[in-house]
A and B are shown apart, each in its own frame.
Chain A
């Protein structure tokens, strides 16, 4: 569904991601693990088009999206939940979700979204900025799902969120995959969260994948070793 081929990303002269390739099949959840500064966020940002890539190819299905503007990538079926949530604080919860509808041309929020996140229906007329961190994270996911994506990118969705909500988010993401049949790429530092939901775990270090393993038979000790400082 999503295929990345020999991706290069650099800030000026310093190359952050070099020669990175990845294929995600339809309905698969892939977790990308790595310590701070190893290129997880840069990878996510370059996929959605916030940072330009220097070389390589990115494809959604058969559509090449490298070099497109962010909104065109969203229209091609990519959706993005950034690190730190980045919801629009002065827009209401409903308006926040509706901004995600732009590429679909719909006017009303699909009921499935409120079904996945009942708390957002309760709060739909509150301003996004007045929600708690966990609620904002759910809002950011709901906003991304509103564009009816084929591939969902999540950048450290567990950052700053209490453990019980983390469990709930993992369950919801699995449910989204099952019901909407989309592929999910999530970058993470919390191994337990990744093991709760991912079909495949990759470890990124200095802009390259250094370890790859399906969830079944994963060597937890080895992955932890990559994550510890």
Chain B
């Protein structure tokens, strides 16, 4: 007996909360991956990252509406189209924002904070004017609903599994793009030394635009996945932006593995503590732990060991 629960009940609770934590972890990772590129690599403090995610969520919502209205026969696979469109929409908006705003501010990181915060307010109001202030939810196709019963008590929701699989795929994709592709090499060269990258023949402006667009595009996919576990409102992105920055900073700004490890520990800690205490208590405890660890290791969990 542990508290009011029997031992089996307790382990089931841990397993199910752990799984809920894994789903949260997946969305965190998807959001943090985009920010790890934009903030961790480029050093741009993008406060509008949450709004790029919500753009993806709204695109998914529009897609589900469109398919149920005009193409009901294909409704079961609409989600894949929605993800591609969500990526494309956020990617294009990201490139536009880079061209119109960010590229003037690479040498002034604190100004990007203000500028992108303003951008996030503009986007929020745009969503409110276009989609209304009420939250919208998407209808999931039948095969994504329901859950798999592992034992009598433990049930694993299918949409959670789907989001997780998606996260693994996108993470692998980002890893290969960053560390195995020509673009990734140019991107890492540009963020380390923009001037010198130009002087070895890399078109830095193009690489910057692609990089920012890609980070936003990944946020769009995160938004698409987000619709499966929560409803979408104009300000929903705000709830996640702080957590996402926390994850990227805690993980070590330029490390992909660090981002994943810190997303895992933060989301697991939150969802497990949340069940036993309250939500705000869970936030307080995780924040205190993170602050404590960052005081001992200001560079974050994972860093590259090189001479500077």
Contact = CB atoms under 8 A, between A and B. Distances in A.
Contact of B198 (A71, A88, A107, A144): A71
B192 interface: yes
B193 A86 contact: yes
A81 to B, nearest CB: 9
Interface stretch (A55-63, A95-103, A159-167): A95-103
B185 A127 contact: no
Interface string B183-211: 00110110011011111111111000000
Contacts of B189: 88, 91, 99
A90 B192 contact: yes
Given A99-B186, A99-B200, A144-B200, A89 B195 contact: no
Contacts of B185: 91, 95, 98-99
B134 interface: no
B202 A99 contact: yes
Given A88-B192, A91-B185, A91-B189, A69 B198 contact: yes
B306 A147 contact: no
B188 A90 contact: yes
B306 A129 contact: yes
Interface residues of A, number: 29
B307 interface: yes
B192 A147 contact: no
B308 A129 contact: yes
A82 B192 contact: no
Given A71-B204, A129-B306, A129-B307, A50 B199 contact: yes
Contacts of A129: 306-308
Contacts of B204: 71
A164 B152 CA distance: 76
B199 A80 contact: yes
B304 interface: yes
B182 interface: yes
A182 to B, nearest CB: 15
A129 B307 CA distance: 5
A99 B199 CA distance: 10
Contacts of A90: 188, 192, 254, 304, 306
Interface in A169-193: none
B212 to A, nearest CB: 18
Contacts of B199: 48-50, 70-71, 74, 80, 82
Contacts of B188: 88, 90-91, 95
A138 to B, nearest CB: 15
Contacts of A210: none
A122 to B, nearest CB: 18
Q: Which of A95, A99, A103 neighbours the largest number of chain B CB atoms within 10 Å of its CB?
A: A99
A193 B1 CA distance: 82
B201 A127 contact: no
Contact of B304 (A48, A50, A98, A127): A127
Contacts of B254: 90
Nearest to A149: B201
B306 A89 contact: yes
A71 B306 contact: no
Contacts of A130: 306-307
Given A86-B193, A89-B192, A99-B185, A147 B201 contact: yes
Contact of A100 (B200, B203, B307): B200
Contacts of A22: none
Given A90-B304, A130-B306, A70 B182 contact: no
A75 interface: yes
Given A71-B199, A88-B197, A89-B306, 15 more contacts: A50-B198, A71-B203, A80-B199, A82-B199, A86-B196, A88-B196, A90-B192, A90-B304, A91-B185, A91-B192, A95-B188, A99-B185, A102-B182, A102-B186, A102-B202
17 contacts: A50-B198, A70-B199, A70-B201, A71-B198, A71-B199, A71-B201, A71-B202, A74-B200, A88-B189, A91-B189, A95-B185, A100-B200, A102-B182, A103-B201, A129-B307, A130-B306, A147-B201
